[in-house]
Structure 1
Amino acid sequence: MPKGYIIGNISLKNADAYKPYSLRNDELVPRYGGRFLARGGPSEILEGESRPRHVIIEFPSYADALAFYNDPDYQENMKIRQANAEGSIIVVEGV
């Protein structure tokens, strides 16, 4: 079964206020078998446009990635991200 990935490409507006979102995700992501593959850190844009912060979370399946995103606890936590960052979040199925 192909894995599922959530990919975030964001710019922080308020890093201090964003931190509780990240900390809570440390508890929420494992509920669905997820693990962080990339979480901020150095990056370089080679082509096109992008935001400066990148997050990649791997899940056992595409369905697990969607279940994590739709979890009511994550939906509540997401409000912190939306208030303190801009960007895009996508889910993609692996090969």
Structure 2
Amino acid sequence: MSKGYWILHVTVTNPEQYAEYVRLDTPVVEGFGGRFLVRGGRNETPETPQKDRHVIVEFPDYETALACYHSDAYQAAARIRMANAQSDVVIIEGMS
């Protein structure tokens, strides 16, 4: 079975409030078996302008990645992210 992934590209506009999103989303993601592979860190975008921060989360499978994103608990956290950052989110199935 293929793993599922979240790929997020984020530019934080309010760091204090964004920290609350991180505090709330981490236990939700981990509760769905998610594991942060990338969460910020050094990066280079040599070909096109991108957002400032990049996050990759691995889930046991695509369905679990979707279920976590659409859960009430994650959506409560996501509202904080959306209010305090510009972000793009992709949920994708990995290769088998």
- TM (norm. structure 2) is 0.95
Matched, 1:78 2:88: no
Match for 2:66: what amino acid?
Answer: L
Distance 2:52 2:25 in 1: 20
| Percent of matched pairs sharing the same residue | 42
Alignment of 1:45-56 (within 5 A): 45-56=45-56
Aligned residues: 95
Residue ranges of structure 2 left out of the alignment (5+ in a row)? none
Question: In the TM superposition, what is the alpha-carbon distance from 1:46 to its structure 2 partner?
Answer: 2.3
In structure 2, what is the equivalent of residue 27 of structure 1? 27
Give the secondary-structure state (helix, strand or coil) at the position aligned to 1:23: helix
Matched, 1:17 2:17: yes
Cα RMSD of the aligned pairs, angstroms, is: 0.8
In structure 2, what is the equivalent of residue 44 of structure 1? 44
Residue ranges of structure 1 left out of the alignment (5+ in a row)? none
Hey, which bits of structure 1, 4+ residues long, moved more than 2 A?
A: none
